Chain A
């Protein structure tokens, strides 16, 4: 089992550019979560999916953020346009229904300059 796979590991982009973060959950996991981690705000849940359907997106900071899960093995988090305050580590996590412990990916460190 390769675990939760995120790409890229690091992304540096200029303000105003579009950024796409990718996540492949563990096979068989039907819940997928996107978290953002910053020094100031800690870990924040942005959105989570169940069976590819968004269940709760109340943590998405604003319309510049969007997330999709077109199939059970792939999800994207897009920021357009990006701003310096979006700089953070973005984690994806997955779990199986009935198992409440998450498996986290290695994260994407995003720097917007």
Chain B
């Protein structure tokens, strides 16, 4: 079955620490990959997306993600987190040509000031 896995459910970091959130997908064929962020009490917002080309994708707010096809992974990274990055982060996959996302279960990040 098609799925997106986020193995870290809760992450706690201190400000200025580096962040890496894992995302693995199980799809055959070509996929498009996304990271969304949901700040407390707010809606989901698109952080970055990968369609093709350079596997290192840069998004908003200093986030980046690397697509590693051989590992079926699309991990999210940020070199130095801030308190304002406290949020829930969702990885999502989309089979090329479709509009039906499969979301991961999300990772709750808490950044301590």
Contact = CB atoms under 8 A, between A and B. Distances in A.
Partners in one complex: yes
Interface of A: 31, 33, 42-43, 45, 48, 50, 55-56, 91, 93, 95, 100-107
Contacts of B94: 100
Nearest to A59: B100
B105 A56 contact: no
Interface stretch (B12-20, B41-49, B64-72, B75-83): B41-49
Given A43-B106, A45-B101, 17 more contacts: A31-B99, A42-B104, A42-B105, A43-B90, A43-B103, A48-B99, A56-B100, A91-B44, A93-B44, A95-B99, A100-B32, A100-B34, A101-B46, A101-B49, A102-B44, A106-B42, A107-B43
A5 to B, nearest CB: 11
25 contacts: A31-B99, A33-B99, A42-B103, A42-B105, A43-B90, A43-B103, A45-B101, A48-B99, A48-B100, A50-B99, A95-B99, A100-B32, A100-B49, A100-B99, A101-B34, A101-B46, A101-B49, A102-B46, A102-B101, A103-B46, A104-B43, A104-B44, A104-B45, A105-B43, A106-B42
A50 B97 CA distance: 14
Q: Is the interface of A mostly helix, strand, loop or mixed?
A: strand
Interface of B: 32, 34, 42-46, 49, 51, 90, 94, 99-101, 103-106
A34 to B, nearest CB: 12
Contacts, number: 40
